[in-house]
Structure 1
Amino acid sequence: MKARILTLCLALLAGCSGSWETDYSTGIENTVSQKWRVREVNVAIPDDLTTTETNSYAPNADVVWHEDPVGDRRVQVAEIVTDGVRRGARPLRGSKAVNLDVTLHEFHALTPLARAKAPSAVHNIAFSIQVVDARTGEPLTEPEFIRADLEAHVGEAAFEAFQQGETQKVRITRHLQQVTASWLGIGPDVRRSFSSAGR
């Protein structure tokens, strides 16, 4: 009976196969961003985003994070996003102090069950980002929607990655760093799409 349920769950997850992407429509010109120096990264998580501790293959929630000990998942996820974005903007050494205001739309990482048993999976991440003058609060850019999906390690690959220190947090933080640098025009263009099973 358990094997039959597992097979059904895997089939349903495989049925969620689709195309995922790291993408944004308008990046910042390097000649503009090089004039900036980021003072703060502010991450907002709207109250209407749902979260869950359910350990299923693809729980229906906007914020899913299990790698840290049980606690305030919103705070934990905000710290990851803040760290990734801040690292991506770190090379900027311009004279104009700016803040990066980030609004999270989705942060759906893997549950322990999906990490162990899923045939493939995706970290679904989406947020909006805007540059504002750190002194006046004046917007310097329009809010930019960024899709930052990332292939997840599952099964034996996940175990081996974990043993080498490549945790979900490490990989997602690095990915957000690369995406931010790309958007700011100070790193390689990382926009791409890929196919995988996912939410």
Structure 2
Amino acid sequence: MYRRTFIASLSMFGLTGCGAGIGMQSAPRPQMERSYALRGFNFSAQAGLVASESASYYPNADIVWRGDPIGPRIPQIEAMFQDAASRNRLVLEDGFPIAVDVTLVRFHGVTNRTRYTVGGVYNVIFDMTVRSAETGEVIEPTRRVVGNLDAPGGERAVRLEQSGQTEKVRVTDFLTSLLRAQLI
């Protein structure tokens, strides 16, 4: 009985704890016709972002990522964004040539402890500006983009991992679709 109550409490903590950015919504996209050819992608991170390697259920940090070995987290996250942009270059190839500037504000995944128990949410927040690839002129002013991806826990997380759906695969696929949704 006590164990069930404890696990239920952790589930609620995980769902509310991972939610620092969950209640946020993306800024509305400008109403306009879009036909873009993605030609450039620039990634940066807001100054002062704090990364955590804590094994707690919910580290109090801007960056929590466990899908790569321990190391500099911002370059690891940038690599996923660059992969997502490269995939979108293959799809967004006909239209007005653009460059996209992304500034990372928050990238809060789940720790291994959370992943292998209750699960949670990958919360990704970034500012995005769309510019002309040729002149640099701003086409779509900077807006905040918020994305949340379910982070399965326990046996479901293990099954996904075993089937090749690693954290990195799932999050890179998610970033690909999140970027595409902002540009079509």
TM-score by length of 1: 0.78
Q: Is the CA contact (8 Å cut-off) linking 1:22 and 1:150 kept in structure 2?
A: no
Q: Is the CA contact (8 Å cut-off) linking 1:21 and 1:148 kept in structure 2?
A: no
Where does residue 87 of structure 2 map in the other structure? 87
Greater shift in the superposed pair: 7-16 or 75-84: 7-16
Give 3-state SS (helix, strand or coil) of 1:90's partner: helix
Q: Is the CA contact (8 Å cut-off) linking 2:123 and 2:147 kept in structure 1?
A: yes
What's the CA shift string for 1:67-116, capped at 9, x where partnerless?
Answer: 21111111001111222244235312235432110011110111111111
Where does residue 121 of structure 1 map in the other structure? 120
Give 3-state SS (helix, strand or coil) of 2:103's partner: strand
Where does residue 133 of structure 1 map in the other structure? 132
For 1:170 and 1:22, how far apart are their aligned partners in 2? Answer: 24
Compute the RMSD of aligned alpha carbons: 2.6
Give 3-state SS (helix, strand or coil) of 2:126's partner: strand
Q: CA deviation at 1:183?
A: 1.7
For 1:51 and 1:15, how far apart are their aligned partners in 2? Answer: 20
Give 3-state SS (helix, strand or coil) of 1:165's partner: coil
Where does residue 61 of structure 2 map in the other structure? 61
**What is the identity, as a one-letter code, of the residue corresponding to 2:51?**
T
Q: CA deviation at 1:47?
A: 2.1
What's the CA shift string for 1:154-179, capped at 9, x where partnerless?
Answer: 10000000000111111111111112
For 1:174 and 1:139, how far apart are their aligned partners in 2? Answer: 27
**What is the identity, as a one-letter code, of the residue corresponding to 2:97?**
A
1:72 aligns with 2:72: yes
Give 3-state SS (helix, strand or coil) of 1:141's partner: strand
Q: CA deviation at 1:22?
A: 6.8
Q: Is the CA contact (8 Å cut-off) linking 1:22 and 1:149 kept in structure 2?
A: no
Q: CA deviation at 1:66?
A: 1.4
Greater shift in the superposed pair: 100-109 or 85-94: 85-94
**What is the identity, as a one-letter code, of the residue corresponding to 1:113?**
R
Q: Is the CA contact (8 Å cut-off) linking 2:38 and 2:98 kept in structure 1?
A: yes
Where does residue 160 of structure 2 map in the other structure? 161
Where does residue 26 of structure 1 map in the other structure? 29
Where does residue 173 of structure 1 map in the other structure? 172
For 1:81 and 1:93, how far apart are their aligned partners in 2? Answer: 18
For 2:140 and 2:11, how far apart are their aligned partners in 1? Answer: 44
**4+ long deviations beyond 6 Å:** none
For 1:113 and 1:85, how far apart are their aligned partners in 2? Answer: 30
Stretches of structure 2 lacking an aligned partner (at least 5 in a row): none
**What is the identity, as a one-letter code, of the residue corresponding to 1:64?**
V
TM-aligned CA distance change 1:63 to 1:109, over 3 Å: same
For 1:72 and 1:86, how far apart are their aligned partners in 2? Answer: 22
Stretches of structure 1 lacking an aligned partner (at least 5 in a row): 186-199
Where does residue 151 of structure 1 map in the other structure? 150
What's the CA shift string for 1:135-172, capped at 9, x where partnerless?
Answer: 32221111121110111111000000000011111111
Identity percentage of aligned residues? 29
TM-score by length of 2: 0.84
TM-aligned CA distance change 1:141 to 1:164, over 3 Å: same
**What is the identity, as a one-letter code, of the residue corresponding to 1:139?**
V
**What is the identity, as a one-letter code, of the residue corresponding to 2:29?**
T
Q: Is the CA contact (8 Å cut-off) linking 1:24 and 1:183 kept in structure 2?
A: no
